[in-house]
C-alpha cells in the first residue's frame, strides 16, 4: 500500500496543517457538537429501548468494514439453499432510537450524513447511538432490519422480505482480512459464499449494463504523530461486499415502487454528446470502446495501474452525473433508474451514517408487513432530496479541502522541485484569457504525481494520458492550494528517430 508521510523535521508544516484543518471546519460551519437536548434524548432512547421479539442471534452474522470502524451499519449471514443461496442482511435499527420530530431527528436533518475529516469524524447521530446501542458490534445483541433473500443458482433474487429482529455479530473483519482469508484458501463458509455470490452478482451487473468507477482510493490517515496519504486500488473483497449492499438497495426500490410510496436514488443515463466525447477520449488513449460492449463492462476492463487507462477512468466520471433523490407517494415517477446501476435503486444500508436510509427502512418494513407507511415518513419524503443534496455538497467540499490541505503540507518544503506525473485531464491553449498572478486564466490541466501520489492542477498545454515532468510552484497550506507547471512531456523528450520508429 503506497503512502507518503509528512516530513517530521518540518514542524511548521504540521502546525499550519492543524490550523488549516480547523479552519476548514469553521469555514464549512460543520456541526461538531450535539446540543444538550439531543444528548439527553439519546440517553433516554437507549435506556427505554425495547428489542423486537424475533430472535435471530443463532445465525452467524459478521461485519466487514475498514479498520477501526465503530459505526457498523451492516452484517451478513450467508447459506446455501439447494442449488441457490439464502442471504440474511442485517441493517442497524436506527429508527428505534430516533423519535420522529424529536431533537435527534431535527439535528439529523440539519447534518444529513456523517462527515469524515482527517482530524476526526463528525457523526450524524450521537455517539451513544452511532457507536454503541445501534451499531452492530461483535458479541452484542442488537436490533436490526433483517433482509431475507432467496437467490437462485445465478444469484438472481427470487424473493425478499424485511422485518425487525435481534441479531448478534460473531466477528468484525476488515477487507484486508477477508481478502487474505480467501486468498489463503482457508476461509470460513460465510466468506467463501461472499466471494461466490459477489462474483455472480457482478456477472448480473454486467448483463444489465451496470457500471462502477473502480478508481484507486486516496484517503488521509493519522498514526498518532503525523498525517499521511494512502493510495491503493480497491480489493476484490470490497466489490463482493458492495454487491450485497447494491442488491439490498435494488430490492428496496422494487418494494417501494410496488407499494407506490418511497424515495429512490436516481441518475439519468449519459447523453449522446457525453458518450461520443468519451469514445473519442478512449480512442485517443489507445483503448477504443467497441460499440457492442456496454460501458460498464468496458470500465471494468481498464487497468488503472496503466497511466493512460487511469486517465481514461477519470474521464469516465463525466458519464456519472446528475444523481439525486426522487420521492413519490401515489403515482410512480417516469424516471426511476439509477443509470450506473442500470436498475431502480434506493439508499437503505447505511442509516447510522446517512439520513435518507432511515426513511427507506421504515417504508420497506411497513410495506412488507402490509401496514400503512407512517405519516411522518410520508411528510418527510418531499424534503429529503434537498437535505441530502446540501449534505452531499458539504461532504464533497470537506473531503476535497482536507486532501488539498494535507497534500500542500506534504509538499510544502519541496517547492521548485521536479516530479514525474501523468496527465489526468488535458488542457487547451486559451490565448485570449487574462492571466492573474495565481495563473488563473492560463491553460491548465490536472495531473497525478507518481511519488508522492497526489492529484493537482498543472499549468501548461498537455494531453490526457501523457507522462510528463512537472515543477512544483505553489504549496500553500493555509489556502489549501497545490499547483505545478509543465516542464516537458515524454513526447517532447523523444528524438525524431524514436518518434519515427514508434510511428512505424
Q: Does 110 have pLDDT greater than 50?
A: yes
CA distance linking residue 497 with residue 358, whole number of Å = 64
The pLDDT of 80-99, averaged and rounded, is 98
Of the candidates 317, 339, 335, which has an alpha carbon nearest to the alpha carbon of residue 326?
335
Find the angle CA(402)-CA(408)-CA(414) to the nearest 5 degrees. 160
Task: Report the C-alpha gap between 83 and 359 in whole angstroms.
Answer: 35
pLDDT tens digits for range 183-238? 998 899 999 999 999 999 999 998 898 887 766 666 666 666 666 666 667 789 99
**What is the tens place of the pLDDT at every residue in 264-289?**
999 998 888 888 878 877 876 778 88
Q: What is the pLDDT of residue 383?
A: 97
Please state the length of the chain.
504
User: How much is the mean pLDDT over the chain?
Assistant: 87
The span from the CA of 61 to the CA of 430, in Å, is: 58
**Which class for 144: exposed (0-12), middle (13-18), buried (19 or more C-beta within 10 A)?**
buried
Name the more confident of 173 and 225.
173
Contact by Cβ (8 Å): 373, 265:
no
Residues facing 117 on adjacent strands: 120
What is the reported pLDDT for 230? Answer: 66
| pLDDT score recorded for residue 407 | 86
C-alpha cell at 175: 477487507
Q: How far is it, in rounded angstroms, from Cα 94 to Cα 268? A: 30
pLDDT value at 141 more than 70: yes
Distance of alpha carbon 73 from alpha carbon 472, whole angstroms: 42
Average pLDDT over residues 370-380: 98
Q: How far apart are CA 334 and CA 290, in angstroms?
A: 30
Confidence (pLDDT) at 309: 78
Q: Which residue has the cell 437536548?
A: 37
Q: Which grid cell is 291?
A: 460499440
Give CA–CA dist 300/466, Å, rounded. Answer: 22
Average pLDDT over residues 438-445: 73
Q: How far is CA 324 from the centre of its chain?
A: 15
- Does 7 have pLDDT greater than 50? no
- Pure H helices in 185-235: 189-208
Amino acid at each position: 500500500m503506497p503512502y507518503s508521510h509528512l516530513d517530521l523535521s518540518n514542524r511548521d508544516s504540521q502546525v499550519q496543517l492543524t490550523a488549516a484543518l480547523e479552519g476548514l471546519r469553521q469555514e464549512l460551519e460543520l456541526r461538531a457538537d450535539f446540543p444538550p437536548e439531543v444528548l439527553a434524548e439519546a440517553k433516554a432512547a437507549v435506556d427505554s429501548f425495547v428489542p423486537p421479539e424475533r430472535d435471530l442471534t443463532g445465525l452467524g452474522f459478521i461485519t466487514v468494514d475498514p479498520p477501526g470502524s465503530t459505526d457498523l451499519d451492516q452484517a451478513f449471514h450467508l447459506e446455501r439453499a439447494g442449488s441457490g443461496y439464502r442471504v440474511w442482511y442485517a441493517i442497524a435499527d436506527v429508527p428505534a432510537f430516533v423519535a420522529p420530530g424529536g431533537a435527534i431527528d431535527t439535528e439529523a436533518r440539519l447534518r444529513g450524513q456523517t462527515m469524515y475529516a482527517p482530524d476526526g469524524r463528525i457523526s450524524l447521530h450521537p455517539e451513544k447511538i452511532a457507536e454503541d446501542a445501534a451499531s452492530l458490534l461483535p458479541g452484542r445483541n442488537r436490533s436490526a432490519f433483517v433482509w431475507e433473500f432467496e437467490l437462485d443458482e445465478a444469484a438472481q433474487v427470487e424473493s425478499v422480505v424485511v422485518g425487525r429482529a435481534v441479531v448478534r455479530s460473531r466477528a468484525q473483519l476488515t477487507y484486508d482480512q477477508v481478502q487474505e482469508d480467501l486468498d489463503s484458501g482457508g476461509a470460513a463458509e460465510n466468506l467463501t459464499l461472499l466471494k461466490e455470490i459477489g462474483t455472480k452478482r457482478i456477472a448480473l451487473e454486467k448483463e444489465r449494463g451496470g457500471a462502477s468507477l473502480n478508481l484507486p482510493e486516496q484517503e488521509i490517515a493519522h498514526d498518532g504523530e503525523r498525517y499521511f496519504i494512502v493510495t491503493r486500488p480497491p480489493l476484490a473483497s470490497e466489490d463482493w461486499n458492495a454487491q450485497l449492499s447494491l442488491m439490498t438497495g435494488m430490492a428496496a426500490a422494487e418494494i417501494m415502487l410496488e407499494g407506490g410510496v418511497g424515495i429512490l436514488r436516481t441518475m439519468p443515463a449519459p447523453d449522446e454528446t457525453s458518450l461520443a466525447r468519451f469514445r473519442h477520449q478512449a480512442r485517443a488513449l489507445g483503448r477504443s470502446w467497441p460499440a457492442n460492449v456496454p460501458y460498464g463492462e468496458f470500465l471494468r476492463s481498464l487497468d488503472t495501474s496503466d497511466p493512460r487507462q487511469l486517465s481514461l477512468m477519470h474521464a469516465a466520471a463525466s458519464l456519472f452525473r446528475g444523481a439525486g433523490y426522487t420521492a413519490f407517494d401515489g403515482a410512480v415517477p417516469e424516471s426511476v433508474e439509477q443509470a450506473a446501476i442500470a436498475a431502480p435503486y434506493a439508499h437503505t444500508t447505511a442509516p447510522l451514517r446517512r439520513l435518507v436510509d432511515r426513511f427507506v427502512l421504515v417504508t420497506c418494513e411497513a410495506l412488507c408487513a402490509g401496514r400503512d407507511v407512517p405519516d411522518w415518513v410520508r411528510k418527510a419524503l418531499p424534503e429529503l432530496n434537498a437535505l441530502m443534496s446540501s449534505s452531499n455538497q458539504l461532504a464533497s467540499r470537506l473531503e476535497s479541502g482536507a486532501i488539498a490541505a494535507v497534500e500542500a503540507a506534504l509538499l510544502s518544503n519541496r517547492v521548485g522541485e521536479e516530479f514525474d506525473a501523468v496527465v489526468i485531464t488535458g488542457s487547451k491553449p486559451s490565448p485570449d484569457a487574462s492571466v492573474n498572478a495565481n495563473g488563473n486564466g492560463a491553460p491548465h490541466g490536472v495531473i497525478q504525481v507518481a511519488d508522492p501520489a497526489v492529484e493537482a492542477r498543472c499549468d501548461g498545454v498537455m494531453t490526457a494520458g501523457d507522462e510528463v515532468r512537472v515543477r512544483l510552484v505553489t504549496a500553500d497550506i493555509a489556502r489549501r492550494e497545490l499547483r505545478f507547471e509543465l516542464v516537458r512531456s515524454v513526447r517532447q523528450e523523444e528524438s525524431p528517430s524514436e518518434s519515427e520508429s514508434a510511428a512505424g
